[in-house]
A and B are shown apart, each in its own frame.
Chain A
């Protein structure tokens, strides 16, 4: 099963929204206990809307591509809509089949986002 499609490699090597926000409304970092990978997400929120987003950290192609896609998915969205994004939604946009251990890589950024939202 080849999961390394052009889109994944491209997102890994040229991730979108990679970096830091100067003054994030909320920020959260999580570690994948299985491998030690880290993803941090900064959210800029105004009137219940995500107006700015950035992520950072170190991880595999799957976790970085997933974080890249997720930050694109939430950018400009109302919080009510963002909260409705499921892990499966994220997996659909990744468009690859993953084994259970690699699913943890794909879902790491989703978990970071959920925990960041809970801090609000």
Chain B
């Protein structure tokens, strides 16, 4: 069991009042809040050992390099990668996917090849592939979903063929909360000779991740959704694949030897980290993983499951509220998208804000999924370790207030 009361004390922002009410933060799928220990790690870096990494021989440079590389080691352990060579630091999840699309995709895709995605993908795992497919004359194929928003396995198998070079899939849908059975899908894809990229943005912060167990070829995720600072994206990829890939961005730090006419590239992972990196923030991300481990990922998942179950049960008792996504919380992360009949999500979110409740409204960067569900937009509440059932009661009450304002029965 999580001691949520104690955990909440670690997050200074949770003391804030919004429009006279205590903040109820349910926009964790967009970004998580940060514990004091993470904020302190950034402060400590800039106050005590700010220096550029991998180059200087002075004390500060050594300390900064050691802390930065220690963070890479922590992240390697956090997802159970084999080696730190497989951990590439990027700006965000989106940049990590673009890295794969440019450096791997441009060199491995040819005319007529196919990339298999799902209709639930975030725009970040769709637009880079659209651009690549157009450039290469390749084709995008899409796995459909069933009524509850679970991936349709038949649709997956039907679309997987000898032309499929890459399968790029979201682990947990950022809109529906659906947990995709990635281990099984990766196995089937590998049997077909296709590589697999998993978008773990909504999974890695909330559940135990083991890249060796699921055997994905690429995994992308982002630190700011897991208690870390913004600007800390991560690309995991198997060492063998990274070795074969040419660099993405070119410049300093990614080189071994530079001559006027040619360059010998640096070893992994530095080959893919051109220029001065975001040192302080990645050090703080390492601290965030320490914090998450101290709470326990299994406990966090268990807590979020309870919150989700409670929300689904209570919300479904309210008339004229439509909930999207799987009803079985074993197949669902801590994300609940819904609509109140006749009320636009923006209006719902504005009224919620009057009561200090932060939710997301709109298409959550999944326009094609909303089109598939025949929706313009939806409201989304997403949970994390510091949320409570009392806060969910606030949300349920706020739904009743919205219904009253708009005269919904």
Binary interface encoding of chain A residues 47-91 relative to chain B, with 1 for a CB under 8 A from any of its CBs, else 0: 000000000001111100000000000000000000000000000
Task: Give CA–CA (A35, B376) in the complex, Å.
Answer: 8
Give the A interface residue count (CB, 8 A): 18
Stretch of B193-201, B211-219, B250-258, B344-352 with 4 or more beta carbons under 8 angstroms from chain A: B344-352
B residues near A100, Cβ cutoff 8 Å:
none
Task: Please state if B370 and A36 are interface contacts (CB–CB under 8 Å).
Answer: yes
With the chains together, A120 CA to B406 CA distance in Å?
38
From B19, B346, B367, residue with most partner A Cβ within 10 Å = B346
Chain B residue contacts of A35, Cβ below 8 A: 345-346, 361-363, 377
Q: Is the CB of A58 within 8 A of B407?
A: no
Whether A59 touches B367, Cβ cut-off 8 Å, given contacts A3-B350, A4-B351, A36-B377, is no
Contacts of B407 in A (CB 8 A): 9, 13
With a cutoff of 8 Å between Cβ atoms, the chain A residues found around residue B350 in the complex are: 3-4, 102
Q: For residue A105, which residues in chain B have a CB less than 8 angstroms away from its CB?
A: 346
A 11-55 contacts with B by CB, 8 A: 13, 34-38
Interface flags for B337-356 (1: CB within 8 Å of A; 0: not) read: 00000111111001100100
Decide: A36 and B361 in contact? CB cutoff 8 A: no
Contacts of A62 in B (CB 8 A): 346-347
Give Cα A35–Cα B347 distance, bound, in whole angstroms. 12
The reply to whether A36 and B354 form a contact with Cβ atoms under 8 Å apart is no
B57 contacts the other chain (CB 8 A):
no
A31 to chain B, nearest CB (A): 10
Per the bound structure, the CA–CA distance linking A13 and B342 in Å amounts to 9
B405 at the interface (CB under 8 A from A): yes
**B344 contact from A3, A34, A61, Cβ within 8 A:** A61
Contact at B344–A60, with CB atoms within 8 Å?
Answer: yes
Report Cα–Cα, A102/B345, bound state, in Å.
Answer: 12
| Chain A residues closer than 8 Å to B406, beta-carbon distance | 4, 9, 13, 61
Residues in B neighbouring A59, C-beta threshold 8 A? 344
Which single residue of chain A is at the shortest CB-CB distance from B19?
A1
Compute how far the CA of A3 lies from the CA of B370 in the bound complex, rounded to whole angstroms. 27
A92 sits at the interface (CB 8 A): no
CA distance A102 to B349 in the complex (A): 11
Q: Which residues of B contact A61 (CB under 8 A)?
A: 343-344, 347, 406
Interface residues on B, range: 20 to 34
Contact residues of B between 313 and 365, Cβ < 8 Å to A: 342-347, 350-351, 354, 361-363
Taking a contact as CB atoms closer than 8 A, the residue among A2, A34, A38 that contacts B362 in the complex is A34
Measured between C-beta atoms, what is the minimum distance from A95 to chain B in Å?
16
Contact with A60, one of B19, B346, B354, B367 (Cβ below 8 angstroms): B346
Which residues from chain B contact A1 at a C-beta distance below 8 Å?
19, 354
Q: Are A37 and B347 in contact (CB under 8 A)?
A: no
Q: A35-B362, A62-B346, A102-B350 are in contact. Are A4 and B376 (CB under 8 A)?
A: no
- Alpha-carbon distance A36/B344, docked complex (angstroms): 12
Contacts of A60 in B (CB 8 A): 344-347
Give bound CA distance, A115 to B283, whole Å. Answer: 48
Contact B405 A36 (CB under 8 A): no
Interface residue ranges of B362-378 to A (CB < 8 Å): 362-363, 367, 370, 376-377
Chain B neighbourhood of A38, CB < 8 A: 376
Most buried by B among A13, A36, A102: A36
Complex alpha-carbon distance, A27 and B354, angstroms: 37
Residues in A with CB closer than 8 Å to B346 are 35, 37, 60, 62, 102, 105
- Binary A-proximity of B222-239 (CB < 8 A = 1, otherwise 0): 000000000000000000
A4 to B350, CA, bound (A): 9
Which chain B residue shows the least CB distance to A98?
Answer: B350
Bound CA–CA A1/B356 (angstroms): 11
Chain A residue at minimal CB-CB distance from B361: A35
Measured in the bound complex, the distance between the Cα atoms of B361 and A61 in whole Å is: 14
- Is the pair B367, A36 in contact by a Cβ cutoff of 8 Å? yes
Measured CB to CB, the nearest residue on chain B to A3 is B350
Interface pairs A-B: 7 shortest CB-CB: A60-B344, A60-B346, A35-B362, A36-B363, A61-B347, A58-B376, A4-B405
Contacts beyond the supplied A2-B354, A60-B347: 5 A-B pairs with Cβ under 8 Å: A9-B407, A37-B376, A58-B344, A59-B344, A60-B344
Subset of 5 A-B contacts with CB under 8 Å: A4-B350, A13-B407, A36-B370, A58-B344, A59-B344
